[in-house]
Amino acid sequence: LIDIYLPDFKYLNPQTAKEYSNAPDYPETAKAALAEAFRQCGTPTINPETGLMMRGVQVRHLVLPGHAQESRQILWNLYQTYGNRIGYSIMNQYTPMPQMKSHPLLSRKVTQQEYDNVVRYAKQIGIENAYTQEGEAACNSFIPEFFGQP
């Protein structure tokens, strides 16, 4: 029925999930959803002519400012569970919203050092199937319109 899943895996720490999304059960729920997606699709099938995924799971992870350690823990957890039997997308596009200007962490973009640290770690632990973002990915073009307001 579904050929490709593109789930997000945002948090591993229930406290972070509670603070940012009011969802302390997010880590366990995300793990269960990912396990089901993997059960349905299995190891990626890649079209040899185009190099595009035809079937499989590509997990998206948005690195958050001040949370590089949690990002590394997420990647470690995913790699220990799935290895390279899933694809990874390590995103650097967190864009602070005006409402976050007084938040100690979410008021800023992810630094290049934070992002590079996470990507380097992914390579060190053996992740081979990862998309990464280069340059300035954190900009307003990544913010969806909510109720007609960008």
Lowest mean pLDDT among 13-17, 107-111, 128-132, 136-140: 136-140
Whether the CB-CB separation of 3 and 57 falls below 8 Å is answered with no
Q: At what angle do helices 68-82 and 112-125 cross, to 10 degrees?
A: 20
pLDDT, position 146: 57
The dihedral through the CA atoms of 116, 114, 139, 122 has a sign that is positive
SS3 content of the chain, % helix, strand, coil (to 5): 40, 15, 45
pLDDT at 140 over 80: no
pLDDT, position 52: 93
The total of other beta-carbon atoms located within 10 Å of residue 81's CB is 13
Rounded Cα distance between 85 and 74, Å, is: 16
Rounded Cα distance between 42 and 4, Å, is: 10
Lowest mean pLDDT among 33-42, 62-71, 98-107: 98-107
Confidence of residue 104 (pLDDT cuts 50, 70, 90): confident
Count CA atoms closer than 13 A to 31's CA, side-chain side. Answer: 14
DSSP one-letter code for 35: H
Confidence of residue 74 (pLDDT cuts 50, 70, 90): very high
